[in-house]
Structure 1
C-alpha cells in the first residue's frame, strides 16, 4: 500500500440525501449548465415540479397550472388536491416519500422514484412549499435542503392545490439564465400531451384541443408539407405525422408525458413500423431512407413502470409496455399496421402525395449516388490526416460520463483556430477550421455537400450524413469574430445546417460562442467585458483610468486568455429556430436581394463605436438566433 493512505472505518462516510444531491447533482438532473441548452439542469428543476402538477391533472384534479418566472425565481401553482398537510415537509425532503408508489393510482406516471422534488429542494438557495387543502393550509421553507421555517397549519380561503417557489443555487448553476423559448417549448409540450389542460406562463395562456396534431401544426409550415397531418389515437398511444420539403428526419417522442429528446425503444419502433406499413400498403420494397426522408412525426405512448437510461429520462430503455404487456416494438407495430394502413386506404389523396414524396427522395438519392461515393472515399482518406479537424478523445456517441461536454468549435482562419486549439480541453473539445467564407448553399441540392470538400469534411467530422443518431459532438459551436465578416460567416454556416441538416439545429446542438469585446484591467484586477455596458461598469469599478483593450478578432486573444472563455464559464448563445418555415426564412435572408430585405437592413442598421473605430453592423435575423 502507498505511504500516507490509511483506509479504515474512519474512511467510510455516509452522506444524507441533500449532501449527496449537492455533491453529485449530475446523477439527479443531468448536466448543470447555465441555461444556454434546452436540457440544462435549471429546466429539469422546473420540469420536476410541473410534472407533479401534471399528474394531478391526469388524475382529474385541477384543469389549470400557473407558472411564472421573475429574474431567478420560479413559481408553480396547481389546483389539484394539495399535498396532505401532515406530509408537506416529508414529501419535499425525504427520499422515497411520495404518493406515486401505488401503481393503481399512478400506473403510468413519469416521476416514480421519489427524488425529483427533493433534488429541486437541495439545489435551491430558497425553496418554499405551500399546500392548500379543504380550507386549511401549511407552508414550509428550506435553504439548500435544510428546513428553516415550518409553520403550523392555519385556515385559508384559497382553492385546493400546491404552490412551490424556488431559486436555483447560483453556486451550482453558474451565471445561469432561463431562456424563454426553452420554457415555452416545454409548456407547449405539456398542453399538447394533455388536451384540455391550461397552463398560464407569465400571463400568457397555453392550451391545446387536438394534442399531437397541434404540435405538428406548430412545428411545420402549412405551405411546405406534402399532405395534411395524419393524426391517429388509440389506448395508450397517439401519433401525428406528415412529410415536408426539408432534408433529414424530425421526431418528437414522449413517454408518459416525458419528452424523450434522445428517443429510445419507442422511437426506434415507430421508425421501423412506418417503413414496414408503407411498404406493405404500396406493395413495394422501398428503401427505408426514402420512406423516412423529410418525415416530421410525433409519437406519445404510455408505459407502466417505464425504465429510462438516466435520471433525466431523456431516452426510453423499456422493452415492454408493462410487466404483463407486449413489447414496445410489437405494440407500436400492431397499431400502425392497422391504423395507418386503414387511414391511407380511406384517404387516397394523402396516400398519393406520400408516394410522390417517396419517389422524389428515391430520385434524389440515386442522383447523388455517384458523387457521394467518390466524395466519401476522399473523406475517408482525408480523415486520417484531416488538417481541418483537430479532434478530441471523447465523443457524444461514446458511452462516457463526459459525453455531454463534447464540443466542436467551427472557426474562421488559422489564427483563431490556433488560439482555441492551444487552450482547449483535448478530452472533450475539437476544432474544425474554415479556410474563409463558406459557400452560400441556400437553394442548392444536397449534391453540393459532396461536391464542396469543406462541407463534406464537416459532415463527416460530425457524422451526420445519415442523420443525427451518430452525432459525434453534443455542442456545435460557431466561433467567429464579432465583426461584419464574422457575422456573415455565422449566417453562412447556419444556412448550411438549416438547408441540409435542420434536425441538428432543432435538437438544440448549435450555438454561437460569445467572446469578450473588451479587457479592462489595472495592476490588481482584470475584468473581461462582453458588451459596452459591462465595459462601462468595469471602468466604474476599477476607476483611476484602467487599461482598456478592444478585441477585434479571436486571433488577438492569447491562448492563455482564451482558455478562460471556453472552460466552465463559457458563454454560449443557442441557435433557436422560431419560424417553422425554414425555406421562407432562408429565402428572405440568404436569397437574392429584394427591396424588402434592403429596407430591413436599413431599419436594423447598427453602429458600434469605440475610441478608434466606427463599424456599421447589421443585426442577425431574430428568427434565427435568440
Structure 2
C-alpha cells in the first residue's frame, strides 16, 4: 500500500510485479489488460458485459526484486483500517485465502471517522478518561482544504497523536503544530477564566498539553507540500494558523460546556506545567 504514497502507485506496482492484470468495468462493458514487469503483454481487450462500474488491479510482487513475494495481511489490514477511519464513506473488505486452513477476512467501515479512530487508539483506556471526545470537521478556504480532528484525554502517561495529510501518514508538520497551538490557547484561556491560572502566570506552553492526550489530526488539501527525505512532514504554512484557530474555538466551547470534565482535564495540565 505504501507504493501509492507518491502519486505514481499503478506505474510503480506494475514495474515491481512479475505479473499484473487490470480490469475496468465501465458503461456496461468489461475491459482487461495484462502486464509483466511494467510492460503490456496483451492488448486492451473487451472481455464481456457487466452491470457494475469499477477497477480491479491484481498483482504478483516480483520475488527477484523483493527477495520474498509474501504480502503481510496484518500490514495491509492496518493501512486499510486507517483509510476507512479517515474516509467515513468507505466500506472496505480484506480477504486472505492464501492458506485455506487459516483463511481470514475483515470488513473495515467506520461511520464515526476520526472519532472512531481515537476510540480505537485508546481501546479500554477510553472508559477511564475524564471526558468525552472532541471531534469536528471544518473547511477553510485559506488553506484550500478541509481539516478533520478528534481528540480526548485519558488517565495514562504520555501523548499519542496520529497525523495525516490527504490520508497519508505524517510524522509531523504544520497541521500538528497548529493543533498543539490551538489546544494550548484554549486551555490557557479556560484556566484563567476559572482561576486555575493567576493573571500574571504565563500561558501554558504547547508542549505541556499532551499528557494523556490521544488525537487524530487529518487534513485534506488541494495542494499539499511535503517536506523531508521521505516527505514525512507537511509544510503548508497557512495550515498552522487555520488549524490552531479551529481547535481553539471547538475546544473552548467543549471546555465551557462541561465544568467537571473541563476541570479534570485542565487541572491535570496546569499541575503538570
| TM bracket, shorter-chain basis | 0.7 to 0.9
Structure 1, residues 363-385: CA drift from partner, whole Å, max 9, x if none?
xxxxxxxxxxxxxxxxxxxxxxx
User: What's 1:420 paired with?
Assistant: none
CA contact (8 A) 1:270 1:332 kept: yes
User: What's 2:111 paired with?
Assistant: 209
Matched, 1:329 2:240: yes
CA contact (8 A) 1:213 1:240 kept: yes
**Partners of 1:330 and 1:310 in 2: how far apart?**
21
Give the secondary-structure state (helix, strand or coil) at the position aligned to 1:210.
Answer: coil
**Partners of 2:41 and 2:92 in 1: how far apart?**
31
Q: 1:315 to 1:348 in 2, by over 3 A?
A: same
User: What's 1:344 paired with?
Assistant: 255
Matched, 1:147 2:37: no
Q: How many residues align?
A: 247
CA contact (8 A) 1:216 1:240 kept: yes
Matched, 1:226 2:119: no
User: What's 2:89 paired with?
Assistant: 196
Matched, 1:255 2:165: yes
Matched, 1:268 2:186: no
RMSD: 2.2
Structure 1, residues 377-432: CA drift from partner, whole Å, max 9, x if none?
xxxxxxxxxxxxxxxxxxxxxxxxxxxxxxxxxxxxxxxxxxxxxxxxxxxxxxxx
User: What's 2:224 paired with?
Assistant: 306
**Partners of 1:272 and 1:170 in 2: how far apart?**
47
For the pair shown, the structure with the greater C-alpha radius of gyration is 1
Gaps of 5+ in 1: 1-42, 49-109, 320-326, 363-626
User: What's 1:566 paired with?
Assistant: none
Q: CA deviation at 1:177?
A: 3.5
**Partners of 1:359 and 1:279 in 2: how far apart?**
9
Gaps of 5+ in 2: 96-104, 140-145, 198-202
Q: CA deviation at 1:196?
A: 2.8
Matched, 1:290 2:208: yes
**Partners of 2:63 and 2:138 in 1: how far apart?**
44
Matched, 1:117 2:10: yes
User: Quick one: higher RCO (CA 8 Å, sep 6+), 1 or 2?
Assistant: 2
Give the secondary-structure state (helix, strand or coil) at the position aligned to 1:216.
Answer: helix
**Partners of 1:290 and 1:310 in 2: how far apart?**
26
Structure 1, residues 219-273: CA drift from partner, whole Å, max 9, x if none?
102233332211122221121111223332211111122222x122211221222
Structure 1, residues 107-127: CA drift from partner, whole Å, max 9, x if none?
xxx86x5x2211111111111
1:497-512 matches, within 5 Å, as none
**Partners of 2:45 and 2:247 in 1: how far apart?**
55
**Partners of 2:18 and 2:118 in 1: how far apart?**
38
Q: 1:231 to 1:184 in 2, by over 3 A?
A: same
User: What's 1:44 paired with?
Assistant: 2
**Partners of 2:148 and 2:191 in 1: how far apart?**
23
CA contact (8 A) 1:193 1:211 kept: yes
1:234-249 matches, within 5 Å, as 234-235=138-139, 236-249=146-159
Q: TM-score, normalised by structure 1?
A: 0.37
User: What's 1:277 paired with?
Assistant: 186
Q: 1:162 to 1:330 in 2, by over 3 A?
A: same
Q: TM-score, normalised by structure 2?
A: 0.82
**Partners of 1:288 and 1:265 in 2: how far apart?**
13
Q: CA deviation at 1:308?
A: 1.4
CA contact (8 A) 2:26 2:53 kept: yes
Matched, 1:169 2:62: yes
